[in-house]
Structure 1
Amino acid sequence: MLNYRSAFAVILFLLLTSCGAFFNQPYKQERARIGETSPVTKKLKEFPLPQEPVVAGVYNFKDQTGQYKAVENGSTFSTAVSQGGTTMLSKALEDSKWFTVIERENLGNLLNERNIIRSTRDEYRKNQNPNEPNLPPLLYAGILLEGGVISYDTNIITGGAGARYLGVGTSTQYRQDRITVYLRAVSTSSGRVLKTVYISKTILSQAVSANLFKYVKFQRLLETEIGFTKNEPVQLAMKEAIEKAVEALIIEGIKDELWLPRLSEEATAKLIEDYDSEKDEAITTELYDRFLTERRGDYAVSAALGGTLMNGDLANPQLAFNSKLGFKRKLNPYLALDVSFNKFNLENKELFNDGFMSFDLNLEYKILPFDNLTPYLFGGIGTNALDYFNTIEPKLQAGLGIEYLVKDNLGVYVFGEHNLVFSDKLDGVVSGSMDDMFYRFGLGVNIYLSTPNTKFNQRKELERLKKAELKALKKENRRQMQEKNKSARQNIKDN
């Protein structure tokens, strides 16, 4: 009975942890629906109107990769990306209201139909109505929009995690692909390429599974498995990338005054400023979504608590207490000087226990200075002294650590450090040919007293000031409203 209850509990746990997949299972056929939109679609539809729409022609916005869809045993004859790029681009241009899109993809069909209309009108003009009007001329394009999907990279990131214990296991896997599009505007009067933009979009696939494989009784095997997979549609990713390319092309044209919006100069400048900020952020972001900007200030104070471990001539070293206070000065994004004061004990069980202080000067090297999480190495010189400065000895220290920025001005770090003292008398015993040494490790915080003067931080500070100003304005309006209501109540009471 106990085994059945355990198995039932495990199955119930698996069901509950994956209930989101069960509640969205396609148990029945779904009716046709209007196509999905992306955040960029909404942004395009709400974009400021132009002073005058530009007549644009799109002959072919095609897949230039020639890549076929990958499968486990090779590839198929299905293409990796949609072949309807021209249609997607035409829809994005229409949504933006900045372009009057004219038919050019199937121009032959259009010309044939116009010939049929022209012939029919000629016959009608001869036989019935000599005043039948001629067919109006076709619109011609002011610009041509060219480009296409220039790359589709699969498996740029793959990974996962899993665990299994006593027949119960779970696992997760993910994969990321990447699609890239180029879009350029070409003047039909001169043939000059006016602007070219480049947009990329990642495509995420995820899989989660859980399983149970357990003997609940002699010759009674219980086996169950649950899981689901989510694949971001390539068509939606391609659509969003094309829409983003149209948005970027419009703003790039506004910057160069190729076309102008129906906005004031201040609003136009704000639109361009927001786009430039997004562009600067994109430029400083590497392929795997690593935003490369300076995050740590020039000055910081640090504090840490941890332990020490003696390595000398006596046996049975014991873990003892260590505390640290320090000050850091950044030399460049990679290097910093660290001055610190340490108060600690060194102990060997029932043989030695004494208190020490040390003053250390270290050069610190951050391996990933532009990331929130960075390993770092450090090394330098210092002095080791007993609590009452009875002895002062020089030493060398070196170590490594990992720091994580919790906030812009607050970092949490762990460290380990090896200290070599130029003496064999640290534990009061002289034995052998090697000098005494000890180890320190701990957990600490860095409080940065400033922020780097980057465009990213300037924009964040400006946003913070705007939010503070808006909050103060709302508070003042609320106070005035309360005073007004109070005065009105007083007037009613007096009357």
Structure 2
Amino acid sequence: MLKLKSALAVFFLLALTGCGTFFNQPYQQQRARVGEVSPVTEKLVNFPLPQEPVVAGVYNFKDQTGQYKSVENGSTFSTAISQGGTTMLIKALEDSKWFTLIERENLSNLLNERNIIRNTRAEYRKNQNPNEPNLPPLLYAGVLLEGGIISYDTNIITGGAGARYFGVGASTQYREDRISVYLRAVNTSNGKILKTVYISKTILSQAVSANLFKYVKFQRLLEAETGYTKNEPVQLALKEAIEKAVEALIIEGIKENLWLPRASEETTEKLIQDYENEKDEAESTQLYERFLTQRRGQNAITAAVGFSHMNGDLPDPQPELNAKIGFKRQLNPYLNLDFTFNKFNLENKYTFNEGFMSFDLNLNYNILPYDKLTPYLFAGIGTNASNYFDAIDPKIQGGIGLEYLLKDNIGIYAYGEHNLVFSDNIDGIEAGTIDDMFYRFGIGVNYYFSQPSTKFNERKELERLKKKELKALKKENRRKMQEQNRNSKINNSNN
């Protein structure tokens, strides 16, 4: 019974990991509602107004991928992407208030309707009001907006995790697709392409499940299962990508003075600068959301603690304390030189225990230097000495490590190191043909004195200084207000 209660507790704990979706399951029909908005929609709605809206026409913003929806069995003629790209684009342009939109997608319908109006007037109103004015002329576009959905890549990354123990298990799976759109503005007077922007958006699908399969007693089987699947709608992803393309096109046009906002220079400059920062970050981000920028400073101090383990001629080696401190210098993002001083003991049970120190010079190779988490390899030369310098022996060492940046200037790391000493007398016994060796393992901290001079770090520093100035200004204003209140109280008491 105790085992059953434990299994049920684990099962329900796993089930509650997705409680947000689990407890909001659709048990009844839902009424029609206003369509969902994205953060980009809100940004477009609150965009600075233009000095003068641009008359724009959209003939067709279509799916250029030609893909059909994939199914497990059989075939389907349903397209993988919504065919309403033109309508979505027109809605995004309308939300921005930067464009005066004219009907071009179904221009033939508009022209037919105008012909019907003319014919009706000519037929039935000719004698009643001969001075009735003609239909006003159609607006013509100063700018045509062209482009389309140019790619829809499925399963660009898939994965998951799961575990099962004594009939209790849980698993999660995910899949990521990707959609890309291009949008360009064309000058109708000369056909010149004014600007082209490119936007991509990932589409996430997730599945979480938990299950219980256990014999409660003889011939009594308890089985339970729960879970949920969430698929990001392709239509919403496409809508957000199109809205982002409209936002980018407007700001690119402001940069090139194609159109101007009805805002101050400071507001316009901040709008452009925020966009440039976002663009720089996007250009430095690879396909799988890996933001590639130089993160580690040129100089750092390093310290670590761990244990050492002897591999010599005596039996029963025991782990002993090891500590180190050192200095690291970056040669380039991939290579570092570090000089360390190590203090450690080596022990064999009941037979040998002695303190040592070593001075090591290593060349480190960072495998992923632009990531927060990077494995690294290192190798170098050093000297090994007993505590009283009775013996000093040269050695070589090499190993592997893993570093993670907690902050911009602080990294934690773990490492394992193999040391080969050119002496067979470290443990006091010379036996065999192989020199003595030992291993060191530990965890440590790297403190970087400075940050790399990249545009991202310069932007962070500028933002930090602005926050500092704003904080100081608020403090000064608060002090002035307190002083004014104090003076007013004194004046009131004197009166």
Given the two structures, how large is their TM-score scaled by the length of structure 2? 0.97
**Kept after mapping to 2: 8 A contact 1:215/1:222:** yes
Mapping of residues 175-254 of structure 1, within 5 Å: 175-254=175-254
Query: Which residue identity is paired with 1:274?
Result: D
Q: Secondary structure at the match of 2:251?
A: helix
Mapping of residues 247-326 of structure 1, within 5 Å: 247-326=247-326
**Kept after mapping to 1: 8 A contact 2:329/2:338:** yes
**Kept after mapping to 1: 8 A contact 2:14/2:170:** no
2:435 counterpart residue number: 435
Q: Percent identity?
A: 77
2:469 counterpart residue number: 469
Task: Report the Cα distance in structure 1 between the residues aligned to 2:186 and 2:276, rounded to whole angstroms.
Answer: 23
Task: Report the Cα distance in structure 2 between the residues aligned to 1:63 and 1:14, rounded to whole angstroms.
Answer: 41
**Cα offset, 1:442, TM superposition:** 0.1
2:454 counterpart residue number: 454
**Cα offset, 1:269, TM superposition:** 2.3
Q: 1:474-494 CA deviation, whole Å, 9 max, x = no partner?
A: 222222222333333344444
Task: Report the Cα distance in structure 2 between the residues aligned to 1:282 and 1:4, rounded to whole angstroms.
Answer: 51
**Cα offset, 1:301, TM superposition:** 0.3
1:157 matches 2:129: no
**Kept after mapping to 1: 8 A contact 2:22/2:227:** no
How many residues align? The count is 495
Task: Report the Cα distance in structure 2 between the residues aligned to 1:139 and 1:376, rounded to whole angstroms.
Answer: 64
Q: 1:66-124 CA deviation, whole Å, 9 max, x = no partner?
A: 00111223642111110000000000111111111110000000000000011112224
Alignment CA distance shift 1:490-1:296 (3 Å): same
1:485 counterpart residue number: 485
1:338 counterpart residue number: 338
Query: Which residue identity is paired with 2:364?
Result: E
Query: Which residue identity is paired with 2:132?
Result: E
**Kept after mapping to 2: 8 A contact 1:7/1:216:** no
Q: Secondary structure at the match of 1:127?
A: coil
**Kept after mapping to 2: 8 A contact 1:313/1:431:** yes
**Cα offset, 1:252, TM superposition:** 1.0
**Cα offset, 1:17, TM superposition:** 3.6
**Kept after mapping to 2: 8 A contact 1:56/1:101:** yes
Q: Secondary structure at the match of 1:79?
A: coil
Q: Which runs of 5+ in 2 are unaligned?
A: none
Task: Report the Cα distance in structure 2 between the residues aligned to 1:214 and 1:489, rounded to whole angstroms.
Answer: 77
1:88 counterpart residue number: 88
Query: Which residue identity is paired with 1:250?
Result: I
Q: Secondary structure at the match of 2:78?
A: strand
Query: Which residue identity is paired with 2:126?
Result: K
**Kept after mapping to 2: 8 A contact 1:300/1:328:** yes
**Kept after mapping to 2: 8 A contact 1:56/1:100:** yes
Query: Which residue identity is paired with 1:387?
Result: N
**Cα offset, 1:276, TM superposition:** 1.3
Q: Secondary structure at the match of 2:430?
A: coil
**Cα offset, 1:15, TM superposition:** 4.7
**Cα offset, 1:254, TM superposition:** 1.2
Task: Report the Cα distance in structure 2 between the residues aligned to 1:215 and 1:405, rounded to whole angstroms.
Answer: 47
**Kept after mapping to 1: 8 A contact 2:300/2:448:** yes
**Kept after mapping to 1: 8 A contact 2:356/2:384:** yes
1:106 matches 2:106: yes
**Kept after mapping to 1: 8 A contact 2:15/2:210:** no
**Kept after mapping to 2: 8 A contact 1:125/1:131:** no
Query: Which residue identity is paired with 1:261?
Result: P
2:57 counterpart residue number: 57
1:25 counterpart residue number: 25
1:166 counterpart residue number: 166
Task: Report the Cα distance in structure 1 between the residues aligned to 2:287 and 2:28, rounded to whole angstroms.
Answer: 40
Task: Report the Cα distance in structure 2 between the residues aligned to 1:384 and 1:120, rounded to whole angstroms.
Answer: 105
Query: Which residue identity is paired with 1:399?
Result: G
Task: Report the Cα distance in structure 2 between the residues aligned to 1:369 and 1:15, rounded to whole angstroms.
Answer: 39
Query: Which residue identity is paired with 1:463?
Result: E
Task: Report the Cα distance in structure 1 between the residues aligned to 2:377 and 2:73, rounded to whole angstroms.
Answer: 45
**Cα offset, 1:3, TM superposition:** 5.6
**Kept after mapping to 2: 8 A contact 1:306/1:442:** yes
Q: Secondary structure at the match of 1:78?
A: coil
Q: Which runs of 5+ in 1 are unaligned?
A: none
Query: Which residue identity is paired with 2:224?
Result: T
Q: Secondary structure at the match of 2:459?
A: helix
2:146 counterpart residue number: 146
**Kept after mapping to 2: 8 A contact 1:185/1:195:** yes
